[in-house]
Structure 1
Amino acid sequence: MQINIWGILIACFAVTLDFSSCFVNKSRPSIPRIAKYFGTKGRYEEVNPYLLEDILAVNTSILRPPFPKCRPIHLTAIIRHGTRYPTGSIFKHMQQMYEAVKSATPGKESWVCEIQNQWRMWYPQNTDGRLARKGVDDHKHLAVRLSKLFPSLLSEENLRGGFVKFISSSKHRCINSTLSFMAGLTELWDIQDQTFDYEVNDALMKYFIHCTKFLEDVVRNPSALLEIDKFKEGPEMRRVREKIGYQLRVPYKNITADMADAVMNFCAYGLAIKNVNSPWCECLDEADAQVVEYTNDLRQFWKRGYGYDINRKSSCILFHDVFSRLDKVVSENMSGQQVTEAVTIQVGHGETLLPLYTLLGFFKDDEPLTSSNYATQTQRSFRPSFVLPYTANLLLALYDCGEGDLRLQPLINENPVTFPGLPEGQEASMPLYRDVREHYKELIRGCDFETECELFTRPNQFSIKDAL
């Protein structure tokens, strides 16, 4: 039997041309245009873009004290874990969105074709929010940067001498972030003859699962998150759902607000974990992304932020731990003793940091975030995208400026900030420690965790997992 090889090749070539016309991959920038709206799924580099050029870059001039005699004597760093894989609940909605698209009518746009025909669900189902390789690097790099910012504190000598303390949440992603931070230091100084310990302390780093009033009044209370539910059903989110359904050929009624959030997560995790601009990113323009971001900001506001007083009060135990440590350093320093804890590295969650920020008064707007004021909140301070990316951190640097002049400098994500409510001026970024204590005196005297978190009625049964 004769075979017309040329005919077969020509036919195959023609089919290939026809088939691949759907797969023309338009050139996309390396960073999605919606990356700055990823909320708590955002990269640390979106908050500090200069790190894209040099991941170990620091600007030591930001720490320049108002007086030349100032020298740092202690650093407390409360840090969120690094980049992680999706948790089970997030993965479920991503899987629903993926299956809906795979079974939809084929689209014609190149990026839709990529999703339907080329893109594959690469997220391991059993990761349960485990630390990604990028998360390991996040903490290694942060360790090196902090050692460059505070070389006299986060030093090889202090590490070897036991003057650097490590505390972690028991969650695997936090422990692995802590180990990664340590590895950043030991690799920097090529330490091979010594190992270092860390303390697991959920009372400090996962205090929110031990606050019964918070769990009952917020986590397990359906009405507590009413504003989020209302916004999900509102006109802004409806428009986004309709647009996603139209673009991906999925009936609008099959697209939930959680699935719209999953579209954003496909884009966010692709960038954070794989450093790619996924075709999913094309589903949302900046206006769409802002709506999805606001949905998540509402959740953070009402579940962890200013929405309910117990949210911030749940962090009282961590607040007191911080000030007890600072008081001890002050006492040791004033009496001429060596400071026994030069650096404290505490690794926890976004849920660890946000209530503490709220308790301290950071990122508070004049009006609360609600389902009905989206249009007027475009300039809001409460923006987890800028505040709580992976590896977000609160740094408190205590300085001795001579003659009993002790000053405290707060930094958020390595950028100097001022304590809300303290007088502004030249010294605002590094106020006297006694003025900071005076400003927060009501919280220092009160804000008892046991009292604030106690329920005076018998609590219902609840699952700790619900709080995570």
Structure 2
Amino acid sequence: MFSVSLPANGLLLAAVSLLLTRRCCSSLSVRDIPHIAAYFGTKTRYEEVKPLLLRDVLSVDRSVLRPPPADSCSPVHLTAVIRHGSRYPTAKNIRRIHKLSELVRRDASRGPEELRSRWEDWYTEDMDGQLVMKGREDLRQLAVRLSILFPSLLSEANVMKRRISFVSSSKHRCVSSVEAFQEGLQQHHELVPEYSHVVDDELMRFFERCRGYVEGVENNRTALLEVEKFKHGEEMEAVRRRMAERLGLPHLSLTPDLVEAAFFLCSYELSIRAIHSPWCFLFNEDDAKVLEYKSDLKQYWKHSHGHVISGLSSCPLFHHVFRTLDKAGRPRRSTDTPPEPASIMVGHAETLLPLLSLLGLYKDQTPPTASNYHSQHGRRFRSSLIVPYAANLLFVLYDCRRGPRLQLLVNESPVRFPGLETEDAPLYRDVRAAYRHLLDGCDFHRECEGRGGGRGPNTEL
């Protein structure tokens, strides 16, 4: 655990920054947003999921908290599992961007002039997935909104007395994100910024420690067969031909990876620089839906319901969340130490997706495959909506007259527990009963066949 203090004038600078951010982002015109912005998968801005934030980044809807009105409930604990904010491309994608930019400058005979001669390839490999300023704003603003939504839990006293715990993945973008979240809390309460968090990869990067997952999915070439089939299938081939035509490029020179690089360039320019990039005009909405589906196939078969071990790998985090909730909801005497009001945990899309899968959320009756794209347009599993930048899974525990209740929110919107769909905030004992098989089982070492046998390739989101 480590703690960092900032000078007192850092508070004023941070507060001014948040105010300017609120004004800047609120003034962004909807017409300036690319028409394909909602289809970027894990590279989607949080604002595409919560469009009210485009008008006011601190917009809060208190009606999302839905314990039964007649049960006299008050929130007593919040556990938040949060994905890091907007980031730079990884080094692998930056290399693809360089290759694409060079190809277009050298060989393209049509398309936007900005791409062929004036667009600047400013990405460098040392950026490699680091958090950008917009990413810090994502987490600062989320912290303020949650403070407004849960004033008794994320209160000034609880922040000052360090009653709130903060946990992060060791990755730089996550550490920067958890610091930004703390900045947001402290700005909201007009406190001197100070960082204090624990780095815990066993909780936040469980996927690289599970040998069953690493060997069975991460390093198994057949595990993502559906992704490979779709990547070279007729829908992707049609997108590739259309893009080559728009640029006047030889069809074979434009690989599926370069098509995806152009698509993600549109997303990066939007999330990092808040601009409508000329790369966006190479794609229509149908193209974007195909590319989103390709991304969803990867997330489904690599990190979610496609392979059971993906969800089971999140057992350590699952058990940690419920142990924390158990402590917060346990009856106590007036002389007992008050429970921890909030636990803030920052990780990756790969942290959230397996946990959501283990909880039974976003599972379609028919799995997405390379061959059923046209029947999947109404699917529930859309990574653009589930795990955009700054995605969050919130467990809200209430103290109620009939006993503790638990509500689940995903990206600040209510989601009902599978099997308990009649209530937004069922009794906590009913939630525990629904997951009894996991609470009593889901042993990480047994499911993952002992200690992890090495790391897979670096494919974090």
TM above 0.5, yes or no, is yes
Query: Aligned ranges for residues 22-421 of structure 1 at < 5 Å?
Result: 29-68=31-70, 69-107=72-110, 109=111, 112-192=112-192, 195-333=194-332, 337-402=336-401, 404-421=402-419
Structure 1 CA distance, aligned partners of 2:457 and 2:282?
35
The aligned residue for residue 452 of structure 1 is: 447
Q: Which amino acid aligns with 2:147?
A: S
Q: How much does 1:106 deviate?
A: 3.0
Aligned amino acid, residue 74 of structure 1: H
SS at match of 2:94: helix
CA change 1:105–1:75 in 2 (3 A) is closer
Range 280-289 or range 334-343, more displaced: 334-343
For 1:395 and 1:467, how far apart are their aligned partners in 2?
22
Larger mean Cα displacement after TM superposition, 67-76 or 307-316: 67-76
Q: Which residue of 2 aligns with 1:19?
A: none
Deviation at 1:50?
Answer: 0.4
- Residue deviations 1:355-405, cap 9 Å, x none? 000000110101111100000000000000011100000001000112x51
Distance 1:209 1:223 in 2: 19
Q: Distance in 2 between matches of 1:78 and 1:45?
A: 18
Separation of aligned partners in 2, 1:376 and 1:333: 52
| C-alpha contact 1:362 1:420 (8 A) present in aligned 2 | yes
TM-score (norm: length of structure 2): 0.90
After TM superposition, the structure 1 stretch with the greater mean CA deviation from structure 2, 213-222 or 55-64, is 55-64
Contact 1:43 1:83 in 2 (8 A): yes
Matches of 1:410 and 1:170, distance apart in 2: 26
Q: Per-residue deviation at 1:333?
A: 4.6
CA distance in 2, matches of 1:141, 1:186: 12
C-alpha distance 451-52 of structure 1, shift in aligned 2 (>3 A): same
Residue 467 of structure 1, CA deviation: 6.6
Q: CA deviation at 1:465?
A: 3.2
Distance in 2 (alpha carbons) for counterparts of 1:462 and 1:173:
19
Displacement, 1:329? 1.1
* Distance change in 2, residues 1:366/1:64 (3 Å): closer
> What is the rounded CA distance, in whole Å, between the counterparts of 2:333 and 2:49 in structure 1?
37
Paired with 1:437 and 1:49, the residues of 2 have a C-alpha distance of 34
Cα distance, 1:132 vs structure 2: 0.3
Range that drifts further, 387-396 or 87-96:
87-96
CA drift at 1:48:
0.4
Partner secondary structure for residue 129 of structure 1: coil
Aligned equivalents of 1:334, 1:378: Cα separation in 2: 53
Supply the distance in 1 between the matched residues of 2:418 and 2:344 (Cα, whole angstroms). 24
Deviation per residue, 1:276-311 (Å, 9 max, x gap): 110100000000011111111000000001110101
Q: Distance in 1 between matches of 2:121 and 2:41?
A: 22
Unpaired segments ≥5 residues, structure 1: 1-26
What is the TM-score when the length of structure 1 is the normalising length?
0.89
Q: Counterpart of 2:178 in structure 1: which amino acid?
A: T
Secondary structure of 1:465 counterpart: coil
User: 1:333/1:362 Cα in 2 relative to 1: closer, same or farther (>3 Å)?
Assistant: farther
1:80, 1:348 within 8 Å by CA — same for their partners in 2? Answer: yes
Contact 2:243–2:282 (CA under 8 A) maintained in structure 1: yes
> For the residues of structure 1 that align with 2:131 and 2:245, how far apart are their CA atoms?
35
Number of aligned residue pairs: give it: 432
Quick check: 1:139–1:184 contact (8 Å CA) kept in 2?
A: yes
Question: Which has the larger Rg?
Answer: 1
Contact 1:219/1:467, CA 8 A, preserved across alignment: no
Cα deviation, 1:149-176, whole Å, max 9, x if unaligned, reads 0000001101112210000000000000
Q: Distance in 2 between matches of 1:64 and 1:327?
A: 20
CA distance in 1, matches of 2:396, 2:358: 19
